[in-house]
Amino acid sequence: MSDTPTLATPRLTLRCLAPDDAAALFPAMADPAVMRWWSRGPFVDEAELRRYFADRAAGTRYWAVMDTPGVIGFVFAAERRPGVSEIGYLTGPAHWGRGVAREAVSAVITHLFASGTRRIFADVDPDAQASARLLERLGFVCEGRLREEWQTHIGIRDTLLYALLAREWRG
C-alpha cells in the first residue's frame, strides 16, 4: 500500500498528497465546522498540518483532490489487514454539494478494489449525516454502532461503521 498512483476522473485529478499541500488545505482543516466530526479538532497552524501530512502512518495513502483552483481536499486509504482498507475524505465547504467528494472517493474505491482489496470500511460519527449519506449513495452498508468509541475534541462519541465489499461495488 505504499505507492499512491495518480487517478483521474472527468473533473478531478487525484495525486499523492504532499506536506506542501498543507497551505491549500489549512483553511478547511482549521475550520471548526469542517473538523467537527473528525477524531481530532481543527489544526492551529499550517506548520502543524504540514507535520501531520509528513508523519502519515505506514500503510496509509493520501490522495490530494485537485480541481481547477488547485488542491480542494483529500481521500485517504489505510490498509488495516490484508484485503481490508479504511477510507476517509475531506473537502472544504466551498466544494460541498458539487459531487466532488463522491467523484474522488469513487475513484479511490475503484482503484482499491482493482488492486485486490476485498472490503472497504469507514468510521463515521452518527451526527455526520452528510458523510453517512455519501457512503450510502456509494453502496456502503451501515454494519453497526460502536458506543462511546472515540474520545474527541467534542467529547466521547459513538461511531457508525459502514462497509462495502468488492462484489457489491457498482462503480
First-residue to last-residue Cα distance in the chain: 21
The pTM score is 0.93
CB atoms near residue 30 (< 10 Å): 17
Interstrand relation of 13-16 and 60-67 (parallel, antiparallel or unpaired)? antiparallel
DSSP letter at 15 equals E
Per-residue pLDDT of the chain (171 residues; tens, 9 = 90+): 348 999 999 999 999 999 899 999 999 999 999 999 988 999 999 999 999 988 876 668 999 999 877 999 999 999 999 999 999 999 999 899 999 999 999 999 999 999 999 999 999 999 999 999 999 999 999 999 999 999 999 999 999 999 999 999 998
Domain residue extents for the chain: 7-168
What is d(CA 100, CA 82) in angstroms, rounded to the nearest whole number?
A: 29
Is CATH 3.40.50.10490 what the domain over 7-168 is classified as, yes or no? no
